[in-house]
Homo-oligomer: A and B are copies of this chain.
Amino acid sequence: MTSPVGLHRVVEPAGVLPQAATRLDAGREIGADEVRIRVERLNLDAASFRQLSEKHAGDGAAVRAEVLEIIASRGKMHNPVTGSGGMLIGVVDEVGPESPLPVKPGDRVATLVSLTLTPLAITDGLASWDGRGEQVPCAGHAILFARSIAAVLPDDLDPMLSLAVLDVCGAPALTARVVAGYDRPTVAVIGGAGKSGSLSLAAATRAGAGRTVGVVPVPAERDRLLAAGLATDVVLADARDPVALSAAVSGVLGGPADVTVVCVDVPGCEHGAILATAEGGTVIFFSMATSFAAAALGAEGLAADVTMLVGNGYVPGHAELALSLVREVAGVRDLFSARLTAD
């Protein structure tokens, strides 16, 4: 009997979830509800790769050796310093008879759960990787549990585009759900020109937002977002300045927003987001730089009756929704394509 969250793969310490484990069993034999992936490529988390590269002063061979050592000793690509992982692309190799995942052998998939909890073994010594970029071509296998998530990569999109979209697909899905709970709400997206921000704007519009405003920090982003046509209005403001941010949002909407979505990865945006949101409104925090205490104490200090959501990266149907937005909304596709070209 295997655990749907992978407890049976935890080697140490006993009793924790795979993400909190220091070592997983990455054995290739699968349980009845597991899936084995033939791995083709790892997409290391940016913070993880940066830490490794800086530690080794850009020496690719040393970075490669350490990644190999981490995976061998931990049974997963879980950077012990940054605590982060990444995603992987591969082909489904074997599906256990009781797996609930909607995949079949031969499907090309991306995993939507972090590498920090995915059993992984490498068999080619990472011989095809020079250790100088986040994209790691490789051979090996990975294991998915019953409660893991994988998305089949669509044939009609560039795999790198799909990967970039799937990386942030929780944001548009949760935004759509929240927007649909209001009647034609006004929606402010802080960081509207970024990956999760542009998808969230498109999702809000599709879910019935009455009016949308994208907030960006610099004129170049304003021009890009205006050209993409994803928001009713685009304004410039520093999200860390609560007064400036709320004034900018209220200036174009005629009052605070019903729904505010925080998509910028800089600390200190909590108070501004709360102040920019109407009584009875909702703030969705997608930034990993969000401080729980700053949000909780900030709302209390402002006597702000706003619902504050921790942006959950999983909402059923999130991959399909995000991929449909990039297919059907030209402005989203343009922003993502420009970003991939620039990288």
* Beta-carbon contacts under 8 Å, A302-318 to B: 302-316
Q: How far is the CA of A310 from the CA of B20 in the complex (A)?
A: 23
A296 within 8 A of B: yes
A241 within 8 A of B: yes
A15 within 8 A of B: yes
Q: Are A298 and B19 in contact (CB under 8 A)?
A: yes
Q: Which B residue's beta carbon lies closest to that of A290?
A: B292
Q: What distance in Å separates the Cβ of A200 from its nearest Cβ neighbour in chain B?
A: 15
A190 within 8 A of B: no
Q: Are A297 and B19 in contact (CB under 8 A)?
A: yes
Q: How far is the CA of A116 from the CA of B307 in the complex (A)?
A: 23
Q: What distance in Å separates the Cβ of A270 from its nearest Cβ neighbour in chain B?
A: 9
Q: Are A271 and B305 CB-contacts (below 8 A) given A292-B285, A297-B313, A313-B296?
A: no
A213 within 8 A of B: no
Q: Are A316 and B305 CB-contacts (below 8 A) given A243-B7, A244-B15?
A: yes
Q: Are A271 and B17 in contact (CB under 8 A)?
A: yes
Q: Number of contact residues on A: which range applies?
A: 35 or more
Q: Are B312 and A299 in contact (CB under 8 A)?
A: yes
A225 within 8 A of B: no
A57 within 8 A of B: no
A295 within 8 A of B: yes
Q: Which B residue's beta carbon lies closest to that of A241?
A: B15
A162 within 8 A of B: no
Cross-interface CB contact of A307 among B147, B301, B303, B309, cutoff 8 Å: B309
A149 within 8 A of B: yes
Q: Are A288 and B299 in contact (CB under 8 A)?
A: no
Residues 164-178 of A, flagged 1 when their CB comes within 8 A of B and 0 if not, give 000000100000000
Q: How far is the CA of A303 from the CA of B275 in the complex (A)?
A: 31
A189 within 8 A of B: no
A291 within 8 A of B: yes
Cross-interface CB contact of A303 among B149, B296, B298, cutoff 8 Å: B149
A242 within 8 A of B: yes
Q: Which B residues lie within 8 Å of A295 (CB)?
A: 292, 310
Cross-interface CB contact of A302 among B5, B112, B241, B242, cutoff 8 Å: B5
A81 within 8 A of B: no
Q: How far is the CA of A292 from the CA of B149 in the complex (A)?
A: 21
Cross-interface CB contact of A296 among B243, B244, B271, B310, cutoff 8 Å: B310
- Measured CB to CB, the residues of A under 8 A from B are 5, 7, 15-20, 112-114, 116-117, 147-149, 170, 241-244, 271, 275, 285, 288, 290-293, 295-316
Q: Give 19 new A-B contacts, CB below 8 A, not counting A5-B302, A15-B241, A19-B271.
A: A15-B244, A16-B242, A16-B243, A17-B243, A17-B298, A18-B301, A20-B271, A113-B300, A113-B301, A114-B297, A147-B304, A288-B292, A288-B296, A291-B292, A296-B311, A299-B314, A305-B312, A305-B315, A308-B312
List 8 tightest A-B contacts by C-beta distance, closest first: A300-B313, A308-B310, A299-B312, A292-B292, A147-B303, A290-B292, A295-B310, A300-B314
9 contacts between A and B (CB under 8 A): A15-B244, A17-B243, A17-B298, A113-B303, A148-B303, A288-B293, A292-B310, A295-B310, A309-B310
